[in-house]
Structure 1
């Protein structure tokens, strides 16, 4: 017996099939998605959050009820959030979203960009500063304890730092600037610090793909932030663990390097590698939720604000972790902050 498109969607988890099945209704000439008519599971598959979660984010971010685009298109903010998240969650075209929202691709483009800009302009600083309510001295001590409990030889380690290059569409100009000879790809680099409660605590970038992680560390200013915020009362400091590309500093600890290292040093590296994997989980969750970022043909350097896409997606990913937890927070047994705590300015 042939399976209908909705059954196939449920089996495969394919977003395209799900959208097709939802639009196959009696109103053949008005293929608009009516959000109130879809199930909770379908809603979360399409928009990554459940209905109460997205309402909580809308309330915590302080959106006005209605917003206007530069071309005077007016929209309800929940419509804006739906457009933004759906656009980022899958490598689709604006023409595809027209069938969902009953808007032209030009209206959708303006709604998407206006909502994106609002979140970016108001909340980008959350990714660059460590003076946060959920990083109190008590929270920092709980994080170091959780990391130590997972076998870390360091009793002052707060998490992991990592630099990653994200592929982009090969630009027509300045190709060498964004080309990474190590990865053999054109791309932009970002640096993130993953806390053991599952939150990406610091996120810097983008910079040119050819740059070294150590240079990105200096440019990010994250060590200055750590100097201000991450000192213990006994004059000890908190640190984060990085890969061999990072230099050894009071706040950054890389693995031991060299062709010949001692047994104790090898043991240290092995134990810390199990802790460091959490930073890769964080980026994995980001790209799983917002697969638009993982499709390099959509990432066009001179045509799109790629850095803005990533930063807003990180903020939304952190909100997702606040609501539902993550692999990292479960692994270390720590509760993430609430959405209100995370978004507090």
Structure 2
């Protein structure tokens, strides 16, 4: 019974692999072309996409309805145009392999890929690209997205310098309360550590812990709206740029908050910045 099953299984996937004639380069090329013409449709069928649908014609926001935009990209259709302008997506981009794509197409692929842990073959028909091209495109777009905003937000914000400039001579000083991992400075503090804390120190820790907890709700929103980042099989260190992908997901989530708010902003009764203000930081 076992032998019969194996035989049937092999016959289902058997390909007429050519015996290549290395004496003639032209003959070998023709044989390999024949082999790929057989192999690709079978691979495509097994992985759920139609190669003929992969025309490489770039998709645009206008190709999707309002409902499709919200379900696929987590943004309303009109806001996708706004997002494209705010992040200054270039008209044309290129993967590490030299394949060109439009910035708008790259933005849509990145948003859809982050929103769901779908197989690339499941996205092939939607974006009219083969899975391997979508993989290149996703990586190129996340690299560009994170690199641009890392430089703008981390280097250019100079938040502590601004606090020192505006409040050093004032009677009232504003402090930033951070995670214990942050280095303590004149304008950035963390909770008190140790076992011999005073009553006031314990009270401050207790009061501020509720604020920290509210801020950490944002981490939950990242995984709620960027479900790809919660699918561990996709996130393999040394096999994929996990850090870059997570940063891209956080940035996209922050932009979503700028447009639609979040639990933390409502808890603190503090409106988030506009999308344009956030992207200009």
TM-score (norm 2): 0.68
Higher helix share goes to which structure? 2
Q: Aligned equivalents of 1:107 and 1:38: distance in 2?
A: 21
- The structure with higher relative contact order (CA 8 Å, sep 6+) is 1
Measure, in 2, the Cα distance between the counterparts of 1:45 and 1:92: 13
Asked if 1:98 corresponds to 2:98, the answer is no
Are 1:303 and 2:236 matched, yes or no? Answer: no
- CA contact 2:61–2:77 (8 Å) conserved in 1: no
Q: Which one of the candidate residues 70, 73, 83 is aligned to 1:57?
A: 83
Question: Where does residue 216 of structure 2 map in the other structure?
Answer: 280
Cα distance change on mapping 1:106 and 1:30 into 2, 3 Å: closer
- The structure where strand makes up a greater share of residues is 1
For 2:60 and 2:276, the matched residues in 1 are separated by 29
Distance, in Å, in 2 between the alignment partners of 1:91 and 1:44 is: 16
Q: Deviations over 1:155-196 (max 9, x none)?
A: xxxxxxxxxxxxxxxxxxxxxxxxxxxxxxxxxxxxxxxxxx
How far the C-alpha of 1:256 sits from its partner, in A, is: 3.4
In 1, Cα distance between equivalents of 2:248 and 2:182: 26
**Cα RMSD for the two superposed structures:** 3.1
Structure index of larger Rg: 2
Q: CA deviation at 1:121?
A: 2.9
C-alpha distance 63-226 of structure 1, shift in aligned 2 (>3 A): closer
Q: Is the 8 A contact 2:54 2:129 kept in 1?
A: no
- Aligned partners of 1:254, 1:233: CA distance in 2, in Å? 20
Please report the TM-score for the alignment, with normalisation by the length of structure 1: 0.57
* Cα contact 1:325–1:335 (8 A) shared by 2: yes
Flag structure 2 segments of 5+ consecutive residues without an equivalent.
1-47
Q: How far did residue 291 of structure 1 move?
A: 1.8
Cα deviation 1:18-71 (Å, max 9, x = unaligned)? xxxxx9xxx9x8599997676533421221111111111111222233334344
Structure 1 segment 28-177 matched on structure 2, within 5 A: 39-129=65-155, 131=157
Q: Distance in 1 between the 2:54 and 2:132 partners?
A: 18
In the other structure, the counterpart of 2:186 is: 250
How many aligned positions are there?
Answer: 226
Alignment of 1:15-30 (within 5 A): none
Distance in 2 between residues matched to 1:244 and 1:30, nearest whole Å: 52
Question: Which deviations, in whole Å up to 9, do the C-alpha atoms of 1:59-97 show, x marking residues without a partner?
Answer: 122223333434443333222111111111222221221
Which digits, 9 at most, give the CA deviation of each residue in 1:114-145, with x for residues without a partner? Answer: 222322332222341362xxxxxxxxxxxxxx
Instruction: Check the 8 A contact 1:289/1:317 in 2, yes or no.
Output: yes
For structure 1, the residue ranges without an aligned partner over 5 or more in a row are: 1-22, 132-224
Q: Tell me the secondary structure at the aligned position of residue 256 of structure 1.
A: coil
